[in-house]
Amino acid sequence: MDPSPLMAAMGPHPISSFQPVMASESYTDAEVMLRVKAGDESAFDYLVQKYRRPLVSFMYRMARNTAAAEDLAQEVFLRVYRSRHTYEASAKFTTWLYRIATNLAVNHARDTRHERPEVTVSLDEPDEETGTTLDVADSTVSADESLVRRERMLAIRAKVEALPERQRLAVVMHKYQQMDYKQIAEVLKLSESATKSLLFRAYETLREQLKEFI
C-alpha cells in the first residue's frame, strides 16, 4: 500500500477539498467511508482529521505512552485504509473504527505487559475536569488543593489501569470517548445488558478503591 495519503492526512495541513462538500451536504461517517472505498482520498483525509485526536487519546489511556499512542492511532488508520475495499456500512463507522482500535490496544497491552512504566501524569497534561494544567498557577486554587487534585488524577488513572482488561476498555470508551452502551456493546461484541453490567462492576470497583477522593 502506498502510505502517502495517510501520511499526508496525519500532517498538520488543513482538511482538503472534501471539507466544503461536507459543509454543504450531510454525510454520515459510513457514507464518507464508502466514498473512501470508491477511491476518494479527500474523504479519507476528512476521517483522519476528524478521528485522529480521539483515537490518540483512546490509545494513550490504554498504552500510557505518548509515542505508542501516536503509533497505534496511525496503525488504526492504516488498517482502515487497507480495509477500504471490503468495507460494508452494516454498522456505525465508529463501531467499526473502535473495534479495530480495541484489538490493537489489547494486543499492544499484552505484548508490553512487562515493560509498561508505572502510571504517571505529565505536568502539562490538562486536568480532565477543569481543563487547567498542573504547572500553571491558578489564583483560585491553593497549593494544597492542587496537590489533592494531582493525587486524585494519579489515583484514578492508576485504578483504571488496574481494572480487568475488558472493564478498562469499557470505562475508557464510556467515560473518555463518550460512547453509549450500544456502541460499546457492538465494539466489545457483547449484549447491551452485559455491557451495562460490565460498566457497573467497573465503576463499583473504582468507587470502592477511590473512596477517599470521592
Angle at 24 between CA 88 and CA 19, to 5 degrees: 65
| pTM, full prediction | 0.68
Query: Quick one: cell of 100?
Result: 479495530
- What digits encode the pLDDT tens for the residues 54-68? 999 999 988 888 999
pLDDT for res 16: 46
- Name the nearest CA neighbour of 207 among 164, 140, 158, 156: 156
What dihedral angle (degrees, nearest 10) is formed by the CA atoms of 28, 29, 35, 40? Answer: 130
The pLDDT-based confidence of 141 (bands split at 50, 70, 90) is: low
- Comparing 74 with 18, which gets the higher pLDDT? 74
Structural domains of the chain in order of their starting residue, each with its CATH number = 1-117 (1.10.1740.10), 125-214 (1.10.10.10)
Please tell me the distance from the alpha carbon of residue 25 to that of residue 156, in angstroms, as a whole number: 42
How many residues are given for the chain?
214
The pLDDT-based confidence of 90 (bands split at 50, 70, 90) is: confident
pLDDT above 50 for 139: no
- Comparing 148 with 130, which gets the higher pLDDT? 148
Q: Is 175 helix (H, G, I), strand (E, B) or coil?
A: helix
pLDDT for res 4: 52
- What digits encode the pLDDT tens for the residues 195-207? 999 999 999 999 8
- What digits encode the pLDDT tens for the residues 100-135? 999 999 888 887 765 554 443 333 344 443 343 333
pLDDT above 90 for 51: yes
Query: What one-letter code names the amino acid at 30?
Result: A
The pLDDT-based confidence of 79 (bands split at 50, 70, 90) is: very high
Query: Quick one: cell of 53?
Result: 485526536
Query: What one-letter code names the amino acid at 61?
Result: R
Q: Quick check: 125 and 71 in contact, CB under 8 A?
A: no
Q: Quick check: 185 and 174 in contact, CB under 8 A?
A: no
Please tell me the distance from the alpha carbon of residue 138 to that of residue 84, in angstroms, as a whole number: 48
pLDDT for res 118: 41
The single residue listed with the C-alpha cell 459510513 is: 30
Q: Is 172 helix (H, G, I), strand (E, B) or coil?
A: helix
What ranges in the chain are assigned the alpha helix state H?
A: 4-10, 18-24, 29-37, 41-63, 66-82, 93-111, 143-162, 165-171, 181-188, 192-209
